[in-house]
């Protein structure tokens, strides 16, 4: 396996990044715990790009907070059962989510104290307001969402048009079927 394909734990790999994996709690659209780990992981190649975004933001007194990263394939089936809408949840019957490849990330911006900045909606708001082209949001929310999008795109991430918080690394990887973070140990 090439170095860029290795799985890294973001909390160990990217200084200052905050992680609050929503699917490791009941604080998500299903109301259920979807997976049993709290470490956010990505492919090293993708994590390197995310680290560059974090570094730029830190110079501005800001940072990133991760809500979801590498996700087990089995978790995708659970999410699809609750929201079978391909605009918001990848259909596991027709391929795999990039979350299961380790090259997709759900995240937001935070200030120096870790407080989330105003954004168009909350996480997993499967509404028109979550769309990148929705106009009925505050100027501040639009500005913050655009800052996140511009920085992510500059590092090679592709924005999901229906979810302001979701980005895919343009570099593709195979589906990750190895141990999940709770079983990875220190890298």
Q: What is the pLDDT of residue 111?
A: 98
CATH code, 43: 3.30.1380.10
**DSSP conformation class of 116:** B
3 state SS of 87: coil
Taking the C-alpha atoms of residue 161 and residue 39, their distance in angstroms, rounded to an integer, is 27
Tell me which residue of 26, 109, 35 sits closest to 73, measured CA to CA: 35
* Separation between Cα atoms, residue 186 and residue 119, nearest integer Å: 34
User: Active-site residue 163, yes or no?
Assistant: yes
pTM: predicted TM-score of the whole model, two decimal places: 0.89
How many domains does the chain divide into?
Answer: 1
pLDDT of residue 92: 66
Domain that holds residue 159: 3-184
Q: Which of 116, 118, 163, 171 is catalytic?
A: 163
Q: Which of 99, 124, 123 is nearest to 42 (CA)?
A: 99
pLDDT attached to residue 186 = 38
The per-residue pLDDT for 76 is: 74
Backbone angles phi, psi at 65, to 5 degrees: -125, 125
Q: What is d(CA 81, CA 99) in angstroms, rounded to the nearest whole number?
A: 17
Q: Could you state, in chain order, the average pLDDT of each consecutive group of 10 residues for the chain (187 residues)?
A: 88 97 90 89 98 98 97 79 72 77 97 98 92 94 98 98 96 87 48
pLDDT computed for residue 1 by the predictor: 59
pLDDT recorded at residue 184: 46
């Amino acid at each position: 396996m090439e170095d860029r394909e290795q799985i890294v734990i973001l909390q160990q790999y990217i200084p200052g990044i905050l992680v609050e994996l929503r699917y490791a709690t009941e604080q998500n659209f299903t109301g259920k715990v979807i997976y049993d780990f709290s470490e956010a992981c990505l492919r090293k190649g993708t994590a390197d790009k995310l680290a560059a975004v974090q570094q730029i933001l830190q110079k501005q007194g800001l940072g990133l907070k991760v809500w979801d990263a590498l996700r087990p394939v089995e978790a995708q089936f659970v999410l699809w059962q609750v929201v079978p809408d391909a605009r918001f949840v990848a259909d596991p019957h027709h391929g795999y989510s990039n979350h299961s490849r380790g090259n997709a990330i759900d995240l937001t911006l935070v200030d120096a104290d870790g407080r989330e900045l105003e954004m168009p909606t909350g996480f997993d708001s499967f509404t028109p307001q979550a769309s990148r082209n929705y106009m009925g949001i505050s100027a501040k929310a639009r500005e913050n969402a655009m800052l996140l999008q511009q920085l992510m795109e500059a590092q090679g991430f592709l924005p999901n048009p229906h979810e302001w918080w979701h980005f895919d690394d343009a570099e593709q990887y195979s589906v990750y079927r190895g141990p999940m973070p709770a079983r990875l140990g220190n890298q």
